[in-house]
Amino acid sequence: MADAHNSPAAASRRIDEATNTETVGHEWDGIEELNTPLPRWWLWTFYATIVFAIGYCVAYPAWPMISGATEGVLGWSSRGQLQNELDAQQAARARTVAALADMPIEQLPDHPALMRAAIAGGSAAFKVNCVQCHGAGAAGSKGYPNLNDDDWLWGGDLKTIETTLIHGIRQPGDDATRQSMMPNFGADGLLTAEQIGQVADYVLTLSGKARASASSQQGAQVFADNCAVCHGAAGKGSRQFGAPNLSDAIWLDGGRREDVVAQLTRPHHGVMPAWGNRLDPVTIKMLAAYVHSLGGGEDFAETPAPPDTQPTEAE
């Protein structure tokens, strides 16, 4: 371990016989280290990295200051770069956006390329604005309509979907909003608990979920007196009032007897923002195209002539 010589390290340097190279002057357990210079290419590379680092610090933001950092002579910043990329994206989309803005939504199906672009854009907008209620796959959940199926409360053609999106559901302050109200038959004492049970039994027979019974037969009269005005005599609903079709297999608020009783007692009323206040018309058009494309979209020709023949969203 000990240095073989007591003199300063410089004096203890010696030439190694085997290699003709100077040693660094230390000895550890009989092992000495040769003082071999670094290869010149290595040193040049090292100096080059220093030069590069200085240049980099001057050119780019580098030194932290009290508030913020040095800006660098190139003026580059990550935020600026992001903004440039966003601007470039916007510019790239500008033509499509302009074409969509000029195109009445009724004519969109005649322009397949534009329609595809609209659906793609709508898919992105849906994931930002709509998934919170309707789910990532637009399948909805109890109380939130499934947008994939063929059952529509207010109608499923492009124009109607667009209108629903612009004005929302039950939005105060929007005169054209989708508005419908089912009375609190139970909570307000309009019907007795017995009548509610009877009408629930009847409603379940409409869609074949329950068999006709004495109770349901009595319920039929209660239905005709209180419900048919909105839901139609056959319970097929009405898109004019957004009254759900009660005779189909789709139940917005659940299809069990207790669900129907609960809805009759104190109805649940879904709401949707009037997106016309929040999103630009092009985005809404794209959203309408996307929702229409999910598998349940209707043609304009299929506008419901007699309300009772068309299915609507049921409770």
Contact between 143 and other proteins per CB under 8 A: no
For residue 19, state whether it binds other proteins (rule: CB under 8 A).
yes
Core vs surface per residue 143-168: b (16+ CB within 10 A) or e: ebbbbbbebbbbbbbbbbbbbbbbbb
State yes or no: residue 20 binds other proteins (CB under 8 A). yes
Cβ proximity to other proteins: between 19 and 277 the closer is 19
Among 33, 87, 106, 150, binds other proteins (CB under 8 A): 150
State the nearest-atom distance from the C-beta of 314 to other proteins, in Å: 8
How many other C-beta atoms can be found within 10 angstroms of the C-beta atom of residue 205?
18
First to last CA, the chain: 91
Query: Can you read off the two tokens belonging to residue 42?
Result: 């290595």
272 is in an annotated binding site: yes
- Of residues 81-140, which lie at the interface with other proteins (CB under 8 A)? 135-139
**Are residues 72 and 61 in contact, defined by beta-carbon separation less than 8 angstroms?**
yes
59 CB neighbour count, 10 Å cutoff: 13
Choice between 183 and 296, CB closer to other proteins = 296
Report the C-alpha gap between 299 and 314 in whole angstroms: 21
Nearer to other proteins, 151 or 253 (CB): 151
Helices (H), the chain: 9-12, 40-59, 78-102, 112-129, 131-134, 158-167, 193-206, 214-226, 228-231, 257-265, 281-292
Within 264-293, which residues bind other proteins (CB under 8 A)?
Answer: 293
Binding other proteins by CB under 8 A: which of 108, 117, 151, 238? 151
CA 97/CA 284 separation, integer angstroms: 12
Query: By CB under 8 A, is residue 38 in contact with other proteins?
Result: no
Position 305 contacts other proteins (CB under 8 A): no
Residues 6+ apart with CB under 8 A from 12: 3, 4, 5, 25, 26
Please identify, among the stretches 22-30, 49-57, 218-226, 245-253, the one whose residues bind other proteins according to the rule CB under 8 A: 245-253
Q: Which stretch binds other proteins (CB under 8 A): 17-25, 74-82, 87-95, 197-205?
A: 17-25
| CA–CA dist 163, 242 (Å, integer) | 13
Query: Measured from the CB of residue 257, what is the shortest distance to other proteins in angstroms?
Result: 12
Q: How far is the CB of 290 from other proteins (least distance, A)?
A: 13
Closest CA to 199 of 180, 181, 217: 217
- List the one residue from 129, 149, 168, 206 that touches other proteins (CB under 8 A): 149
| Subset of 176-235 contacting other proteins (CB under 8 A) | 208
User: By three-state DSSP, how is residue 23 classified?
Assistant: strand
Among 72, 109, 255, 273, binds other proteins (CB under 8 A): 255
Binding-site ranges for other proteins (CB under 8 A):
18-21, 135-139, 146, 148-151, 208, 245, 248-250, 255-256, 293, 295-296, 311, 314
